[in-house]
Amino acid sequence: MAMTRPETESRSGALEGIRVIDLTQMLAGPFCTQMLADQGAEVIKVEPPQGDSSRKLGPYRPDDTERQTGGYFASVNRNKKSIVIDLKSEDGRALLRRLVRNADVVVENYRARVMDRLGLSYESLREDNPALVYAAIRGFGDPRTGESPYVNWPAFDVVAQAMGGLMGITGPDPHTPTKVGPGLGDIVPGAFAATGILAALLRAKMTGRGQFVDICMLDVVLSICERIVHQHSYAGAVPRPEGNHHPILTPFGLFSALDGFVSIGAPTDEWWQKLCRLIGRDDLLSDETLSTNALRTKNRTRVFEIVEGFTRTRSKKELLEVFGGKIPFGPVYDISDIAQDPHFAVRNMIVKTCDPGTATPVELAGVPIKFTETPGAIWSGPPRLGEHTDAVLGAAGLAASEIAELRRRKIVQ
């Protein structure tokens, strides 16, 4: 497994020189800003006095004496600097405005109009920084680009998955909608936000003018469920959960193995013919009832029985030897399988790094976006609450005495 670079090593990356003020908490926003930090951006995480809510969620290592940076927080807040500013105070808000003047990006995921009420709206901040890119990630979007009737509702991943259509096509049968395991209702909007920020930054570099980037969690989930829209429009269908198979591609899904499950995708006629040969069913090559994807989908129960008749009597390892590299195929892994697979090691996708509360390294998911010239990396683990307050404010021009006075008044910590 890869080991993170020493924290003292100078950071580089495609976004070196970009400064991000991160006002986000929990998952969607921190995932977005971590994507930027992983590629070299300086991300200054501005936390309230009590810290990001996810700091309290764990899980913690048994030897963690500080309990500040459990697994939830660490997994989406590496490579960042943490400072504490009380934005409920007038001086705290003035201090944030001072930091924003020299920033390229602000990201927040408060409810709509919260920052406006604090006097920190995009329109206000851009008066001092016309090139500022301001991104907001909200459950139901921001009124600036279209006011949802639910604009003031709170939302989490589970809400976005439900209302955006993801649960409606996920589950073991048409009557059992199911939450997807990872928090896709948060994580994918976070990734979309990073994409929007980069597009707006490119435009700002060309024109000198920033803009407001509005990411609605519900909208993003619908966009990744795109097929339900075209199925409804083109075919008049209302898609429902289909279990572990695809509604219009066959075979395409999960099949039982002797010791678990494997995935097989062979919907084209060429892949189907190759699959038939691999399982020793050359007789099916001339079967007109299975000759096209449309016909195989119409006769999907028979197709499933044919394929599973072969897979269920063999282990995942045996099936890997039969299908691996020959057709689209993969065994269903859990994390113990992933940790042993050489693919993830050579791709640096499980990385050891430091956690301030533990004596031994922890492991985090690596950086999935790879560059040949300016590779991103995990340069540092998650920060302690307020770990970089003095350094960041000092770099912004505040004297040590000013910082000490702000700390005495509990405006920073």
Q: Which residues are catalytic?
A: 186
65 vs 59: CA distance, rounded Å = 13
Contact 89, 96 (CB under 8 A): no
Measured over the CA atoms of residue 386, residue 390, residue 395 and residue 397, the dihedral's sign is positive
Spatial strand order of the sheet with 329-331 comes to 252-257, 260-265, 329-331
Residue 293: how many CB atoms within 10 A of its CB?
A: 19
φ and ψ of 128, to 5 deg: -90, -15
CA distances from 304 to 144, 356, 375, 391, 406 (A): 49, 51, 43, 61, 67
